[in-house]
Structure 1
Amino acid sequence: MGVDRRTALRRVGLLVFAVNVCLAAAKAGVWYATGSLAVGSEAVNSLSDSAYSLVVVAGLYLTTQPPDFEHPHGHERIEPFVSLFVAAGVFLAAGGVLYSAVRSLLSPAPSAGGGSALAVGVLVGSAAAKLLLYRYCLRAGRRRDSPALVATAKDNRNDVLTAVAALVGVVGAAAGYPTLDPLAAVVVGVGILYTGYEIVRDNVGYLVGAAPPDDLREEILRRALDHPEVRGAHDVIAHYVGPEVDVSLHIEVEGEMSLNRAHAIETEVVESVRSIPAVDDVFVHVDPKELGEWKVDDAPGVPFTE
């Protein structure tokens, strides 16, 4: 892993943290000034975002450390755990927001605060900032194969929706419908819960060694079979180890070739497959094609043999 990836991930993490702190402070100030429960729930959401983005920064620092004696494959496998910590913080924030909203709805006189231009302004600004962060984090996360940044991007995307929901509550309160304010807070809470669910769903596969998408498996096979001296391939196994993919496969070559040439072919196939950005380690076993171990591939359009 090069310095470029470390620098890029840390820069994104620090930017997200700084924006979340600014938004939390702005929303808290407006909440104090207007009394809007919808804005208050957004302030809690941004405070939670600030806390977990700090954890993400620390986690990205650890995951981007170079390999060492105790971790010869690097530290990227920490990233899914960082993402699950993000999800835990998201769930806690959602619980707090929903508790406050339901309690307000059940009270005899829901709060009528929050219909000011100040509240509207902070929510519009928050939605705009979160939309930009979503696009930035998603692009960086996919480019750098970072599940922590992809999780952060999804949280920012849902923050846009919750800010819009809070905006509806604020405008509704100003129009004489105070119940819309706590109802908007409920929508915000549900949106936060869904964010946590998405993060858990996307990262559990990294931890349990799930198979990568079919198109990646097909690309692995194609690269192996593209070698002019490879006659077939079988027993292809690809699975996640952290956010990266480990691959093992058997290739068939002419049985009469020298050991030196077979070794050279193996090395060339390993290098070709390993050049796929999502792939980390590649293990290739060389078989003589005369053994007849060719098999039919389950993936459409990808032959195992000539």
Structure 2
Amino acid sequence: MQGIRSQEVRKVLWLTLLLNLFVMALKFALGIATGSLSLQADALHSVTDSANNVLGLVTNRFSSPKPDREHPYGHQKFEAVGALGIAAFLGIACFEILQGAVEKIFFNSDQIAIQVSGAELWLLLVVLGVNIFVAFYERRVGRKVNSPILIADAKHTMSDIWVTIIVIAGLLGVWQAENLNIPQLQWLDVVLAFPVALLVFYSGWQVISENLPWLVDEMAIAPEAIHDLVMEVPGVINCHDIASRGMLGRQVFIEMHLIVDTDDIITAHQITEKIEDHLERNFGTVRVLIHVEPLEYESDDISFGSTEPTDNNYIVEN
């Protein structure tokens, strides 16, 4: 199943890489031909699209939930690392866009005027259509196979759509500046470079906020939710010191201390297996570590680390 998922992700990444390279080349050519700063910045933004696809192909090659000797918890965090790489590329693009706009306003204001033709605007509409296809295609497949790298890249491409729309609007204004006898419209190209940068930054922030919790082992499932499900299993007396990490919907690791109504090891083991099955039915793919304790270690501390450890707890943990 994981192999099929990886193949699907790679197929999407290769297709979108080719489309992004086409878009990038066309934007650069039009940006140079027209002298448009916002269009050149948009082309720079598209460079990150292609780099993201390459990064996604690399991380997809190494990402897997299956454990091995060197990675006993699997390799899926490689995808989160790849998604953060996308955020880094977006940050670089944002800086370059702002730098170019500021330089043109304060140091090269005599170079504001640009030339745009109707044919060049039509080509930009083609670019917009390609971006829309890539964004929705990546998002649909990403959700289908639950791939963070595809979902993150789809969000990046979605920001590219808005960037391109802004650029087209600015170039339309520049195109009509002479016909309408409003020379101030020539400044639209530079002025609109700033919202372009803000959209790029926002896209990067979204990617970081969605993937960083996974890398820093933030709580994946509320311990109270786990506790309520565990207590539904017959034979469970007490469940405490619950911890979870990972990402719900992909893979979650759960730890807990458990007290069961039996002294028989086999029966206790059967109860823990029922707990694992129950949690998997409710939360999807999970790996559960259960520490069975005697009745005298019963505790009301549902969340792991919610109170200072007592001497008894210290003995148990060691």
Instruction: Please give the range of the TM-score, normalised by the shorter of the 2 chains.
Output: 0.7 to 0.9
- Aligned in 2, Cα 1:65/1:32: closer, same or farther, shift over 3 Å? farther
Range with bigger deviation, 103-112 or 156-165: 103-112
Partner residue of 2:276 out of 238, 250, 270:
270
Partner of 1:31 in structure 2?
Answer: 31
Deviations 1:62-90 (A, max 9, x none): 11485433223332122222122222222
Task: Indicate how the Cα distance of structure 1 residues 155 and 114 shifts in structure 2: closer, same or farther if over 3 A, else same.
Answer: farther
Residue deviations 1:208-238, cap 9 Å, x none?
1111254xx5654454334333344322211
Contact 1:83–1:199 (8 Å) recurs in 2: yes
Output the CA distance in 1 between the equivalents of 2:226 and 2:173.
55
Work out whether 1:188 is the aligned partner of 2:196: yes
Comparing 131-140 with 185-194, greater Cα deviation is found at 131-140
Amino acid at match of 1:246: F
Cα distance per residue 1:57-116 (max 9 Å; x no partner) = 111111148543322333212222212222222211222222222222232324332532
Residues of 2 paired with 1:277 and 1:3: CA distance? 22
Amino acid at match of 1:224: V
Distance between the aligned counterparts of 1:58 and 1:211, measured in 2?
A: 28
Partner SS state of residue 255, structure 2: strand
Q: Secondary structure at the match of 1:168?
A: helix
Deviation at 1:170, TM superposition (A): 0.6
Q: What is the RMSD of the two structures over their aligned residues, measured on CA atoms?
A: 2.9
Tell which deviates more after alignment, 269-278 or 51-60: 269-278
Contact 2:65 2:73 in 1 (8 A): no
Partner of 2:69: 69
Look up the match of 1:212. Answer: 220
Q: TM-score, normalised by structure 2?
A: 0.80
Greater C-alpha radius of gyration:
2
Structure 1 unaligned spans of 5+: 298-306
Letter matched to residue 193 of structure 2? A
Answer yes or no: is 1:100 the counterpart of 2:100: yes
Task: State the Cα deviation string for residues 183-231 of structure 1 (Å, max 9, x = none).
Answer: 12222122212222222232221221111254xx565445433433334
Q: Displacement of 1:278 after TM fit? A: 5.7
Give the Cα separation in 2 of the matches to 1:21 and 1:279. Answer: 36
Label 1:114 to 1:274 Cα distance change in 2 as closer, same or farther (>3 A).
farther
1:141 maps to amino acid: G
Selected match of 1:230 from 233, 236, 240: 236
Check if 1:253 corresponds to 2:254. no
Contact 1:37/1:114 (<8 A) preserved: no
Distance, in Å, in 1 between the alignment partners of 2:57 and 2:269 is 42
Contact 1:38 1:166 in 2 (8 A): yes
Counterpart of 1:271, as a letter, is D
> Equivalent residues in 2 for 1:32-181 (5 A)?
32-64=32-64, 67-106=67-106, 107-176=108-177, 177-181=185-189
* Matched residue type, 1:273: L
- Cα deviation code 1:126-158 (max 9, x no counterpart): 333333333333343344443322321221121
1:247, 1:44 → 2: CA distance? 43
Q: Matched residue of 2:110: which SS? A: coil
TM-score by length of 1: 0.83
SS state of the match for residue 175, structure 1? helix
SS in 2 for 1:293: coil
Specify whether residues 66 and 267 from structure 1 end up closer, same or farther in structure 2 by C-alpha distance, changes over 3 A only: closer
Q: Distance in 1 between matches of 2:235 and 2:62?
A: 42
Q: Is the 8 A contact 2:174 2:186 kept in 1?
A: yes
| Amino acid in structure 1 at the alignment position of 2:124 | L
Point out where structure 2 has 5 or more consecutive residues left out of the alignment: 178-184, 304-318
| CA separation of 1:18 and 1:221: change in aligned 2, threshold 3 A | farther
1:6 Cα deviation from its structure 2 partner: 1.4
Q: Name the SS for the 2:196 alignment partner.
A: helix
Q: Given residue 154 of structure 2, which amino acid in structure 1 is its aligned partner?
A: A
Secondary structure in 2 aligned to 1:178? helix
The answer to whether the 8 A contact 2:252-2:285 is kept is yes
Aligned AA for 2:89?
A: G
Q: What secondary structure does 1:210 align onto?
A: coil
Which residue of the partner structure matches residue 307 of structure 2? none
TM-fit CA distance, 1:295: 5.4
Identity value in percent: 26
The 3-state SS of whatever aligns with 1:71 is coil
Tell me what 1:15 maps to: 15
Kept after mapping to 1: 8 A contact 2:38/2:190: yes
Which shows bigger deviation, 178-187 or 57-66? 57-66
> How far has the Cα of 1:50 moved from its partner?
0.8
Mapped to 1, the partners of 2:298 and 2:72 lie a distance apart of 37
Contact 1:24–1:43 (Cα < 8 Å) also in 2? yes
